[in-house]
Amino acid sequence: MDGDRELLHKLLDGELPPEEAAALMERMNAEPLLREEFDLLGRAVSLLENSGRKAAPLSFTPEVMRALPEGTKESLPRTSRGRLPSRNDWKGFRDFFFRERMVRWNMAAALATVFLAVVILGGVLSYRKDMQSPYSNSSGSAVTARFKFYSPDAKRVSIAGDFNKWNIDEGTMKRRGKGTWTIEIPLTPGAYNYMFVVDGDVWVTDPEAEAYRDDGFGYKNSVVRVNSL
């Protein structure tokens, strides 16, 4: 029987030559015990193969990203007290103000960012009323949320969400660097669903979103929360 078992496993793995497979199948027709062995094995394999993959929790990717160590490009150069900044130091200052960032709206980060955004942008917006975004409303102070998406092969990336009535034409993102797409959107406090749209027709959930919400169609929307001061 051990020899037969080995043949049955080879048959399951598709490793028996056709003529040997045919001979074994013929034997199974004549030998019910052999057939039963094969059926039980096949059933166990079928149960495993149909059990499917367990999906990772929705917050899996953001949690991993938060746990990663800071990369060398993210770190800022330090200037010693009493020494004039060198050319590299100026690069550091420039990087500090203009380098790409992803805003994560947990409470602490949101409060800090909202404070900075209001101080810096509040004055600017008060002088330039014509910069008022269609996404903001008069019920609260708008703060700037910066969205970022990495897609080196994309020709065009947009953001669509509650804040622009899911109109991808109103959320065209700008390509920066080798494949990072960004957009800044003034938003009043609240929670907003959104997704990125690659090349006009591929809808992608933000892998770095703070939270996710089912959209009722089998997909998950990214969620950004903007808190008031």
> Which stretches of the chain bind another protein, using CB under 8 A?
5-6, 9, 12-13, 40-41, 43-45, 47-49, 51, 53-57, 60-61, 63-65, 67-74, 100, 102, 148, 150-153, 178-180, 205, 207-208
Choice between 142 and 223, CB closer to another protein: 223
Which of 43/94 has CB closer to another protein? 43
Shortest Å, Cβ 117 to another protein: 21
Do residues 92 and 76 lie in contact, with contact meaning Cβ atoms separated by under 8 Å?
Answer: yes
How many Cβ atoms are within 10 Å of 7's Cβ, its own excluded? Answer: 19
Minimum separation from the CB atom of position 199 to another protein (A): 14
Q: Report the C-alpha gap between 77 and 71 in whole angstroms.
A: 13
Q: Which residues contact 9 (CB under 8 A, 6 or more apart)?
A: 41
Select 52 or 82, whichever has its Cβ closest to another protein. 52
How far apart (Å, rounded) are the C-alpha atoms in residues 73 and 80? 20
At closest approach, how far in Å is the CB of 123 from another protein?
Answer: 30
The least CB distance from residue 65 to another protein, in Å, is 5
With beta carbons less than 8 A apart as the criterion, state whether 206 and 149 touch: yes
